[in-house]
Amino acid sequence: MAASGNTRLRLETVKLTALFGQLRAVRDVSLLFPAHTVTAIIGPSGCGKSTMLRCLNRMHELTPGASVTGEVLLDEMNIYAAGVNAVELRRRIGMVFQRPTPFPTMSIYDNVAAGLRVNGRKPGAEISESVERALQQAALWDEVKDRLHTSALALSGGQQQRLCIARAVAPQPEILLLDEPTASLDPAGTQRIEELCHALKTLYTIVIVTHNMQQAARVSDYTAFMYLGSLIEVGKTNEIFTKPKVEQTEAYITGRFG
């Protein structure tokens, strides 16, 4: 297991299995995400890494016919236990998707504030402060501070994705889930997002799913390799990429399959 002894535990899966009907997309995965680290989940298409990520904030169950067995522990509380409110849980776990998803009817400001307003009314000054902080954290503030009340759709793809990161971090979640966040971006945009991962891990525990092995090597502290729904190997990123213990992992990261 990846966690070193003195790192405070934040998120852990125990024998997690995710199903679409009868199909087991994720099989018996037990994985630890230590606090304030970046964990990358890599693997070929269809290996279940995105599904795995969607189990961590209970988004998987929204797909018709989808179900989950096993446990996901957030600070030792099973988020699948009876009585856990999935909607409230998702406010503690931010998520960013493959493609930028700014709300098209909202301004830049309202997009970032969207997650702040779900918890009842807050004074405007408090929201403004949080919006600015989130945009700073997403390294977007300087580019948009003069046009906060214009449409979010006028931003470039890379800016839109950083806006989505700002929207996700504005409510100050504890965990940040990134599902191939640079898949639709150009190299410059990708680099900015990767830099953000480094900066944001002091504040959040980050789990990133990526197709791109160089990216995993650049941004993560730990790397988990999944294949056909199963966890094949997990360890410190530099160890996984330099001396993997399992044959399949080596084959994948050297490009022999996948």
Partner 1 sequence: MTGVVVLFSFVAVLALVLILGNLLLKGATSINWDFFTKNPVPAGQTGGGVANAIVGTGIIVALAALIGVPIGVGAGMYLAEYGGGRFGFLVRFVADVLNGTPSIVIGIVGWTFIVRPTGHFSALAGSVSLAILMIPMLARTTEEMVRLVPNSLREAALALGYARWRTSLKVVARTALGGIVTGCLVGIARIAGETAPLLFTALGNLNFSLSVNHPMQTLSLQIYVYGTGPFEEWHRLAWASALVLMGLVLIISLAARWVTRQRYGSIR
Tokens 């190299």: give the residue: 187
- Residue 70 phi, psi (nearest 5): 90, -170
The stretch near partner 1 (CB under 8 A) out of 17-25, 30-38, 59-67, 127-135 is: 59-67
**CB neighbours (10 Å) of residue 184?**
16
154 makes contact with partner 1 (CB under 8 A) = yes
> Interface with partner 1 includes 168 (CB under 8 A)?
yes
Q: Does 114 bind partner 1 (CB under 8 A)?
A: yes
Q: Following DSSP, what letter does each residue of 69-132 receive, concatenated?
A: EEEEEETTEETTSTT--HHHHHHHEEEE-SS----TTSBHHHHHHTTTGGGS---HHHHHHHHH
Binding flag, residue 49, partner 1 (CB under 8 A) = no
Q: Does 90 bind partner 1 (CB under 8 A)?
A: yes
Kindly compute the dihedral angle of the four CA atoms of residues 237, 175, 32, 211, in this order, to the nearest 10 degrees: -40
Q: Does 181 bind partner 1 (CB under 8 A)?
A: no
Identify the residue among 75, 88, 186, 195 touching partner 1 (CB under 8 A). Answer: 88
Interface residue with partner 1, options 13, 17, 50, 57 (CB under 8 A): 57
Residue 215 Cβ, how far from partner 1 at the closest point, in Å? 21
If one asks whether residue 162 binds partner 1 (CB under 8 A), the answer comes out as no
Q: Find all residues with CB under 8 Å of 177, minimum gap 6, and list them.
A: 53, 56, 57, 93, 94, 95, 96, 206, 207, 208
List 5, 76, 83, 87, residue binding partner 1 (CB under 8 A): 87
Q: Checking DSSP bridges between strand 38-42 and strand 222-227, what pairing results, if any?
A: parallel
69 versus 105: smaller Cβ distance to partner 1: 105
Q: Which residues contribute to the site for partner 1 (CB under 8 A)?
A: 57, 59, 62, 64, 87-91, 94-95, 97, 99, 101, 103-105, 107, 114-115, 118-119, 149-151, 153-154, 164, 167-168, 171
